[in-house]
Structure 1
Amino acid sequence: MGELTNSFEYGLNASAKKFDGIHKYIRITDIDDSSRKFNSDSITSPDINFSSADNYELKQNDLLFARTGASVGKSYIYTESDGLVYYAGFLIRVRIKPEFDSNFVFQNTFTSSYENFIRITSQRSGQPGVNSKEYASFEISIPSLEEQQMIGSLFKQLDNLTAQNERKIDLLKQLKQAYLQKIFSQELRFAGFNDDWEERKIVDLFEERSERSPHGQMISITMGSGVVLASSLDRKDNSSFDKSNYKVVRKNDIAYNSMRMWQGASGVSPYNGIVSPAYTIITPKDNVDSGFFAIQFKMAKSLKTFQKYSQGLTSDTWNLKYPALSSIPMITPNFTEQKKINHFFGIFDDLIDKYEKKVLLLKRKKRSYLQKMFV
């Protein structure tokens, strides 16, 4: 890589301060681990005299490389749309010569050969690190400039498509959260529903399912995805050989991890199956929509209540079995409005799932192209 560059420069040795509205400061932690985009969630400015800091201002197609710590090897390519950006001291700036394509070089940092280079080169007796001389030794196979530009452009389009879909996911999640607050506070109601919501205890809404069976597909409960098939998880099967005491789960039951209910490890089951005895299964009574309550169970107010009702001396031992859960009150609209709300948020979940699958497909496609093009 050293033969492709005009310079390797270390960044500013300056602390960060509140963003001044103009001058942005990029540090290792400001580069997204996956997309390598500038993460703008918590923008800061460098605490410096800008009149003497021109050399630390990024220019179009500058590359940055993390030189130390757990994120060593992380890369970033600057684009003017990121604004006026100065780079920090634990980053190395690389300026590529005009006869080479910066984006082509940047895309090489997503390859397995680069990952292997970083893993081997960064080994130190203390903190891992790669300095500018070592980065310069990284070997890249270079086609003609025209082909570099075509390859770089292809991957840039894939990256942009991925970023666009990730932004859609973020916006949908934000919109869903806003509607959750407004609907469950009854600030916003669907047309035709005017009755006040009642406060009812969970014992009046659900009963515990106590069936046991060794037969059926294994089901797991997660914090992020709710109830899923155990076979869909990339994890070791730790279920016991003797499943005679396993609990039966049926469609529309709510299953939850009694030790993680206060963290959101619950969900309505779309499957019939069995789960570990460590889980609790509740089944809805008449005129109760499980999906509505599965949504309410995940809300911050409910999680705080579940934590309060959990039994145990420390957070590692907190446990919320059905007898304690059953006495918790929940605000409850009529059955028709429950179903309406559940359907409404189901549309959000389906859209989010659609875009998440699209992002996963784009990332797999990029990985496949990287393996076939950069050999």
Structure 2
Amino acid sequence: MMSKEKRRVPKLRFPGFTEDWEQRKLGDFYTFKNGLNKEKVYFGYGDSIVNFTDVFHNRQIYSSTLKGKVCVNKKELENYKVKEGDLFFTRTSETIDEIGFPAVVMEPMERVVFSGFVLRGRAEKYDPLANIFKSYIFFTDNFRSEMKKKSSMTTRALTSGTALKEMCFSYPKDLEEQTKIGEILLSLDKIITLHQRKLNNLKLKRKALLQKLFPKNGEGYPELRFPGFTDAWEQRKLGEIFEYLQNNTLSRDSLNYKIPNIKNIHYGDILVKFNEILDGSNKDIPYINPDLDLSKFSKSLLRDGDVIFSDTAEDDTVGKAIELQNVNAPFILSGLHTIPCRPLIPFGKGYLGNFFNSNSYRLQIRPLVQGIKVSSISKSALKDTMIKYPKNLDEQEKIGSLFQSITKMITLHQRKLKHLQIQKKSLLQKLFV
């Protein structure tokens, strides 16, 4: 007995829709055209233009979102004119992962053309897809995977109208079902955008406070201060009030996340993973492999209040510092390309981690950095940098506490944003065939 033909339906579907989806090639409905190529002198004024960034960063294109301008003549305007319903794909980029990103023109356009970095798809006779649906259907894993296979890569990644015409996609014939799918994804995108905006605002607020809560170079008072504190701040060299501890040079191969042992702070994690205050119980701190002899580091086990600098980086993050808190068993060591140090006088909890990443301190580090491709800073250079602090520990702790609360809010929004992005990715796979 012959097996039944497999139905072409999505895993997740709105009630009331039961028909199989149609499978067709893009070329069955859309003709593709390369965009306008002009010399740089023509850009910056004139008519609006749909650029690579408009397509890559937006699923839907509106007149209000277009930022670029280009001067064109009447013939060019007619040949490269944009209209509602046009489907755009990114055509060329430095990486193949950025090729074939779609966006759809969602409203009538007046005097708008499109650039040579994108491809325009236009349905001359019949367009089977609702605009809002069209802006999401080409983000499934299957379509993205096929897009990469059909794109070429030499000095730049490139796709073409010929390749796009052969790309297959599936869709429901019922426009109401298309609209429902598009609307639920659009509403999720709006929530994601809202959380991204809140996250960006919190980061900007934190950046502003890092500039205002610590004195600028040559000044003894900060621009912004908690009520009740009026004394001038102290200023001392790092070498006068800190002692250096010993770090190890263990590579990633000597670390793991499964076998409990002494933990290790790698410089790469300081630069990428960790905030200014690092909780010793953080699960992202790896363990040192148990077969290694660490006896010579017994006097360099870290404790609360210790500070670790990253002494190298491939960009201007060199010298980024973290302050350790809640260091309990298992103990922690400072690893490859790090400079661990311990304050010889008391500091308020959370103060140092934020001061060392403020403009007041970072501006001191920049002239001391050496290297071209890889930047580095030495222990001897750090010794002469100046540390500014209020003598009152309560004021220090208030500063640390304020930044801690902002960091917690940033982390909360980052987690929520990541959850929403995972949810969207899941829906993109389940709502489409």
TM-score in terms of structure 2 length: 0.72
In structure 2, the partner of 1:165 is 195
In structure 2, the partner of 1:337 is 395
Q: Does 1:365 align with 2:423?
A: yes
Partner deviation per Cα, 1:248-273 (whole Å, 9 max, x = no partner) = 23233211222349624321224532
In structure 2, the partner of 1:196 is 232
Contact 1:117/1:138, CA 8 A, preserved across alignment = yes
Residue type of the alignment partner of 2:425 = R
Whole-Å Cα distance in 1 between the matches of residues 311 and 223 of structure 2? Answer: 32
1:2-151 to structure 2, matched below 5 A, reads: 2=26, 5=29, 7-15=31-39, 19=44, 23-32=47-56, 43-49=67-73, 53=77, 56-69=80-93, 70=95, 71-79=98-106, 86-95=113-122, 97=126, 99-123=128-152, 127-143=156-172, 144-151=174-181
Partner deviation per Cα, 1:218-274 (whole Å, 9 max, x = no partner) = 3334224436689638xx999795251555232332112223496243212245323
Contact 1:64/1:94, CA 8 A, preserved across alignment = yes
| Change beyond 3 A, Cα 1:205–1:104 | farther
SS at match of 1:163: helix
Q: Of 330, 333, 355, which aligns to 1:296? A: 355
Q: CA deviation at 1:85?
A: 5.4
Whole-Å Cα distance in 2 between the matches of residues 238 and 82 of structure 1? Answer: 60
| Change beyond 3 A, Cα 1:254–1:152 | same
Whole-Å Cα distance in 2 between the matches of residues 211 and 91 of structure 1? Answer: 51
Q: Does 1:255 align with 2:291?
A: no
In structure 2, the partner of 1:267 is 322
Identical pairs, percent: 24
Structure number with greater Rg is 2
Q: Of 287, 306, 309, which aligns to 2:365? A: 306
| Change beyond 3 A, Cα 1:305–1:80 | farther
Contact 2:84/2:109, CA 8 A, preserved across alignment = no
Q: Of 324, 328, 333, which aligns to 2:385? A: 328
The structure, 1 or 2, with the larger RCO (C-alpha pairs under 8 Å, 6+ apart) is 2
Contact 1:205/1:288, CA 8 A, preserved across alignment = no
| Change beyond 3 A, Cα 1:241–1:63 | farther
Which stretches in structure 2 are left out of the alignment for 5+ residues? 1-24, 216-221, 249-259
Contact 1:252/1:268, CA 8 A, preserved across alignment = yes
Whole-Å Cα distance in 2 between the matches of residues 242 and 72 of structure 1? Answer: 46
Q: CA deviation at 1:60?
A: 4.3
Whole-Å Cα distance in 2 between the matches of residues 74 and 287 of structure 1? Answer: 54
**Which sits farther off after the overlay, 40-49 or 254-263?**
40-49
| Change beyond 3 A, Cα 1:180–1:119 | same
Whole-Å Cα distance in 2 between the matches of residues 67 and 181 of structure 1? Answer: 42
User: Between Structure 1 and Structure 2, how many residues are aligned?
Assistant: 369
| Change beyond 3 A, Cα 1:373–1:313 | closer
SS at match of 1:180: helix
| Change beyond 3 A, Cα 1:301–1:248 | same
Q: Of 216, 224, 230, which aligns to 2:262? A: 216
SS at match of 1:53: helix
| Change beyond 3 A, Cα 1:341–1:124 | closer
Contact 2:50/2:114, CA 8 A, preserved across alignment = yes
Whole-Å Cα distance in 2 between the matches of residues 191 and 84 of structure 1? Answer: 57
Contact 2:247/2:340, CA 8 A, preserved across alignment = no
Whole-Å Cα distance in 2 between the matches of residues 154 and 85 of structure 1? Answer: 29
Contact 1:224/1:265, CA 8 A, preserved across alignment = no
Q: CA deviation at 1:81?
A: 12
Contact 1:256/1:279, CA 8 A, preserved across alignment = yes
Residue type of the alignment partner of 1:194 = T
| Change beyond 3 A, Cα 1:369–1:45 | same
SS at match of 2:33: strand
Q: Please provide the CA RMSD for this pair.
A: 3.8
Whole-Å Cα distance in 2 between the matches of residues 37 and 238 of structure 1? Answer: 49
TM-score in terms of structure 1 length: 0.82
| Change beyond 3 A, Cα 1:203–1:32 | farther
